[in-house]
Amino acid sequence: MAIGQIWDLIILDPMINVLIMLSSYLLDNFGLTIIVLTIVVNLLMYPLTQKQLQASKAMQTVQAQVAEIRKKYAKDKQKAAQEQMRLFKESGVSPAGCLLPMLIQMPVWIALYQSIIRVLAVVPEDFLNLSQRLYTSWAAVFPLVPLERSFLWLDLALPDLLLALLVGASMWVQQKMMTPTTTDPKQQAQSQMMLYMMPLMFAFFSLSFPSGLALYWVTSTGIRIAMQYFATGWGGLTLSATGRKVTQEKKIKGPTARQKAPLAEADISADIVVPSSAEEEGLNYGKSGDKRQDRGGSDSTRRRTTRRKPGGTRGYRRKGR
Amino acid sequence: MAPKSMFKKPLLLLVILLAGLVLASCRAGTGTIPRGWSGGIIDNGILYIGSMAGELVAANITDGSRLWAVPLETPPASGGGFSCAPPATAVAIYSSPAIAGDLVYVGGYNGKIYAFASGKDKWQWEYPRRAVLDPIVGGLVVTEDSVYFGSSNGKVYALEADGLFEKWDNPFETGGKIWSTPAISEDTLYIGSFDKKLYALNTTDGRQKWQFATEGAIVATPVVDNSTVYIGSFDRYLYALDANDGHLKWKSLAENWFWAKPIIHNDTIYAANLDGKVYILDAETGTKLVEPFDLGSPLSSSPVLVGNSIIVATGEGAVYALDTGSNRQRLLVNLEEKVFAPLIANQGKVYLHTTRDSLYEIDAQSGAVREINIKE
């Protein structure tokens, strides 16, 4: 059996049939069906999403140290690589931790996306194709097609400008929340590119595809924004919203002032976030078996800010060095 | 993994995500470009067919040559310049041409009806002249003085055959798209709609005589025989209704949607279904006369009767002859090309339009195949 057939058999076709059947319980409203199924799928995937968010957060906590290492060993890339690996190991950060949950989730998102497109059959060829995906043992799905395409102001089979803008805006918000604080100019440039590229691309896709798909993207992004908020706070979004003011506050109030406020961009080069546990251990990266417990918890309780003097000593020191 | 590459992770993830979505878009979107699958009609040795290049093509069936072709219209390319699918530059034609007098009529997915002089590629008129209707998928029925068709805007239209005037005061409006080809018997027009109903209309003024509600959308073309209307629905039932008042006589369940037009021969109905089976029922009672023929792939192409054989083409291009006397099936030829268009029968031959835009002539007895040139 070809991989495409396996994909259809175990992922796509079940999702198509569930989508159609679900619509019959939701007033034959396909827009509502897309929203509900997206929420359900997101909830089912929540454990994986949570792991991914935690891994991202953990990765962000060591960004400053990574930047320092790269700066320090700029001329010795091999050494820099070794040091970074050691930092990750000792900090309990797994670069694969972000990738793996996402890779596992991706087939589900793609299947959901494909099933929406297919159920929103428009041209006769689409209907013939769809007819072969309906379960003959599930008689109720046959009369339900074609589904009602009207939802709010939308014809779900046609692109919609307003929804495309919503897709772009919501993705920008999500992307902004995910944007890591970094001192590395390369990474900053990369983050900035992603911050605008993703929303623009998806907004463009939304103008090229049925609005039912854009509805799925908006819903999905909204849910992820909420999940991300509960996992890591507003992230980069707060940073841009409050700017330097937040940094000023945190300087006055200390660690509690930035429970959910990442470093201000203006101060980012001066502040280095140091895990408190590491601090207590004398930043003992070289000490075997010492692992930070700060993986997904609140930053405020486990970090402190160290002011780096311009051109002066590093914001951290390695025990024994 | 080298740490340096780890820090390209966000970029990598996004690239993977985007690539996945784009690929998925291409895969899912392949069916969203209407390509058309017009059947044809034969008159005086000339076959008229709507090609997948958006042209009305006239071909000589004697020597298999293409006589002329005229594009319905060439709209500007769409797709925003960045799309997986090629831009649509031709009008998709699903509607089979119809002939009355010296005019050939054809409907386009662009929502227009065109009339050409049948002997040459001469445009006569189009309807509507300036605006467009919603896509026309079903075929046209032409009588001596009128043209009838349904549109995806849910309306049934009747035009004077010269195309200059609308015959009815207003088009008849249903509650859903119309992809069904009308059937006319005496002064009644029967047509199905996506609103799950079959309508019987007075051909003179377009007023409704009766309607019958099924549980599913209706795309198939009705067949009228012996005061009974037969119609298949997306609810998987084939219905037999009293042609006079729309009362249900019987219904018979299949395993998938009915798309193709059934055939009635010797009080027996042969109904092809998207489950890949041909159902053979008693036209009077709906009783299954024999077990359905399972041809293995979806049947959307309407079969034809040639002599005592029902010729059926599967979606995968296998062409079968079902002997109505012995109720036995015989494989005529396997073209191995997808077939959605209705078949055309003429003097012991069957003409079949594939999704590669090839037209084949098949001998209904021997299965001998000859290609008719309809491409440039």
pLDDT at residue A281 above 60?
A: no
CA distance linking residue A266 with residue A283, whole number of Å: 26
Checking if the pLDDT of A149 tops 70, the result is yes
Asked whether residue B325 is domain-assigned, the answer is: no
Digit-coded pLDDT (tens) for B8-35:
555 555 565 665 555 555 444 434 689 9
CATH at residue B214: 2.40.10.480
Q: Which of A268, A320, A278, A270 is nearest to A303 (CA)?
A: A278
Q: ipTM of the assembly? A: 0.89
Selecting from B18, B137, B236 the residue whose C-beta is nearest the C-beta of A124 gives: B137
Q: Which of A7, A45, A214 is nearest to A117 (CA)?
A: A214
Q: Give me the residue label for tokens 């549109």.
A: B151
Q: Which residues contact B93 (CB under 8 A, 6 or more apart)?
A: B36, B38, B50, B51, B52, B54, B56, B72, B106, B107, B108, B109
Same domain, B135 and B180: no
Contacts of B357 in chain A (CB under 8 A): none
> Cis ω on the peptide bond leading into residue A146 (within 30° of 0)?
yes
Instruction: For residues A228 and A247, state if they share a domain.
Output: no
Q: Which amino acid is at B252?
A: S
- Which range of residues forms the domain containing residue B238? 174-253
Which of A25-34, A62-71, A136-145, B127-136 has the weakest average pLDDT?
Answer: A62-71
Which has the closest alpha carbon to B91: B67, B114, B59, B60?
Answer: B114
Mention every residue, 6+ apart, whose C-beta is less than 8 A from residue A207: A159, A161, A164, B80
CA torsion angle B17 B22 B25 B30 (round to 10) = -150
Task: Give a yes or no: residue B289 inside a domain.
Answer: no
**Which residues of chain A lie closer than 8 angstroms to B11, CB-CB?**
190, 194
Task: Name the minimum distance, in Å, from the CA of B306 to any CA of chain A.
Answer: 26
Could you tell me which of B100, B98, B73 has the C-alpha nearest to residue B88?
B73
- Give the per-residue pLDDT at A303: 39
Q: Is the pLDDT of residue A278 over 60?
A: no
Contact A128 B298 (CB under 8 A): yes
Q: Do B201 and B110 share a domain, yes or no?
A: no
> Tokens 């605008």, residue?
A196
Domain end: A211, A232, A253, which one? A232
- pLDDT for residue B9: 54
pLDDT of A273: 33
Residue A315 lies in a domain: no
Please tell me whether residue A211 adopts helix, strand or coil conformation. Answer: helix
Helix (H, G, I), strand (E, B) or coil at B144: coil
Which pLDDT belongs to residue A88?
A: 81
The pLDDT assigned to B79 comes to 44
On whether both B40 and B153 belong to a single domain, the answer is yes
Report B:145-174 residues touching A (Cβ under 8 A). Answer: none
- Minimal-distance CA residue of chain A relative to B301: A128
Q: What is the pLDDT of residues A56-82, one digit of tens each?
A: 777 777 777 877 887 888 888 888 888
Buried b (16+ CB within 10 A) or exposed e, B145-177: ebbbbbbbbbbbbbbebebeeebbeebbebebb
In a shared domain, residues A130 and A275: no
Domain boundary among B200, B218, B253: B253
Q: How far is CA A12 from CA A7, A104, A219, in A?
A: 6, 15, 20
With a cut of 60, say whether residue A321 has pLDDT above it: no
How many whole angstroms separate alpha carbon B310 and alpha carbon B302?
A: 10
Are A136 and B1 within 8 A, CB to CB?
no
Helix, strand or coil for residue B42?
A: strand
Instruction: Give the CA dihedral A157, A160, A166, A169, nearest 10 degrees.
Output: 110
Residue A142 per-residue DSSP state: G
Which range has the worst mean pLDDT, A29-38, A64-73, A258-267? Answer: A258-267
**What is the rounded CA–CA span in Å between residue B93 and residue B90?**
9
Shared-domain flag, residues A76 and A172: yes
Contact at 8 Å (CB) between A222 and A228? no
Residue A80, SS3 per DSSP? helix
Q: Are A97 and A174 part of one and the same domain?
A: yes
CB-based contact B132:B112 (threshold 8 Å): yes
Beta bridge partners of residue A155, listed in sequence order:
A150
Of A232, A251, A271, the one marking the end of a domain is A232
| Total count of domains within chain A | 2
- Is residue A287 one of the residues assigned to a domain? no
Whether A313 maps to a domain, the answer reads no
Shared domain check, B39 and B161 = yes
Answer yes or no: do A169 and A41 share one domain. Answer: yes
* Residues A46 and A102 placed together within one structural domain of the fold: yes
Whole-number pLDDT of residue A210: 84
Secondary element (H or E) of residue A176: helix A161-178
- Which 3 state secondary structure label does DSSP give A165? helix
Residues B144 and B57 in one domain: yes
> CA-CA distance, A122 to A126, in Å (whole number)?
6
> Of B29, B235, B315, which is closest to A142 when you measure between CB atoms?
B235
Residue A92 contacts residue A302 (beta carbons within 8 Å): no
Which amino acid appears at position A309 of this protein? K
Within a domain: A237: no
Q: Are residues B43 and B151 in the same domain?
A: yes
Asked whether residue A280 carries a pLDDT value surpassing 90, the answer given is: no
Residue B49 near residue B97, CB atoms below 8 Å: yes
Q: B185 with B122, same domain?
A: no
Q: Do A44 and A160 have their domain in common?
A: yes
Same domain flag for B129 and B65: yes
**Contact flag A194-B24 (C-beta cutoff 8 Å):** no
B87 vs A93 pLDDT, higher one: A93
Q: How far is residue A55's CA from residue A57's CA, in Å, rounded to a whole number?
A: 5
| Residues 5-64 (B) with a CB less than 8 A from some CB of A | 6-14, 16-18, 20-21, 24-25, 27-29, 31-35, 37
Query: Are the CB atoms for B318 and B360 separated by under 8 Å?
Result: no
Q: Are residues A141 and A218 in the same domain?
A: yes
- Greatest extent of chain A over all pairs of C-alpha atoms, in Å: 75
- Is A223 within the bounds of a domain? yes
Q: Is residue A320 in a domain?
A: no
Structural domain span for residue A254: 242-282+296-307
Contacts of B21 in chain A (CB under 8 A): 110, 113, 205
Last residue of a domain, one of B205, B231, B253: B253
- Out of A88, A110, A204, name the one closest to residue B24 (CB): A110
| DSSP notation for B281-299 | EETTT--B-SPPEE-SS--
pLDDT at A174: 85
Question: Of all residues in chain A, what percent carry a pLDDT higher than 70?
Answer: 69
Whether residue B72 lies inside any domain: the answer is: yes
Q: What is the pLDDT at residue B248?
A: 98
H or E segment to which residue B59 belongs:
strand B55-60
Same domain, residue pair A149 and A253: no
B42: in domain: yes
Contact B260, B220 (CB under 8 A): yes
A174 and A302 assigned to the same domain: no
The parts of chain B modelled with pLDDT lower than 70 are 1-32, 74-89, 120
Short-list B14, B234, B224, B18, CA closest to A146: B234
| Digit-coded pLDDT (tens) for A295-318 | 333 333 333 434 444 444 343 334
B8 interaction partners in chain A (CB closer than 8 Å): 190
B156 with B103, same domain: the answer is: yes
Whether B104 is covered by a domain: the verdict is: yes
Burial of B303 (0-12, 13-18, 19+ CB in 10 A): buried
Query: Who among B16, B21, B194 is closest to A146 (CB)?
Result: B194
Optimal mutation site among A131, A196, A209, interface B, most CBs of chain B within 10 A: A131
Give contacts of B82 with chain A, Cβ < 8 Å: 204, 208
For residue B215, the chain A residue with the least C-alpha distance is A143
Contact of B94 with chain A, judged by CB distance below 8 Å, is answered with yes
The one-letter code for the residue type at A246 is V
pTM value is 0.77
A7 and A58, same domain (yes or no): yes
Return the CATH number at B99.
2.40.128.630
- How many CB pairs lie under 8 A apart between chains A and B? 130
Counting Cα atoms < 13 Å in the Cβ hemisphere of B36 gives 33
- Specify whether B124 is located in the same domain as B238: no
| A289 within a domain of the structure (yes/no) | no
Task: Record the tokens describing residue A263, joined without a space.
Answer: 């470093």
Q: Is residue A276 part of a domain?
A: yes
Whether B138 contacts B179, CB under 8 Å: yes
**Euclidean distance between CA atoms B18 and B360, whole angstroms:** 42
B184 plus B151 within the same structural domain = no
Task: Tell me whether residues B79 and A208 touch, CB distance under 8 A.
Answer: yes
Q: Which of A192, A208, A232 is the last residue of a domain?
A: A232
Same domain (yes/no): B221, B244: yes
Indicate yes or no: CB of B14 within 8 angstroms of CB of A117. no
* One domain, residues A177 and A251: no
Residues of chain B found within 8 Å of residue A77, distances taken between Cβ atoms: 4
The count of other CB atoms within 10 Å of the CB of residue A247 is 24
Domains in chain B: how many in total? 2
**Which of A125, A127, A224 should we substitute to test contact with B (largest number of B Cβ atoms within 10 Å)?**
A125
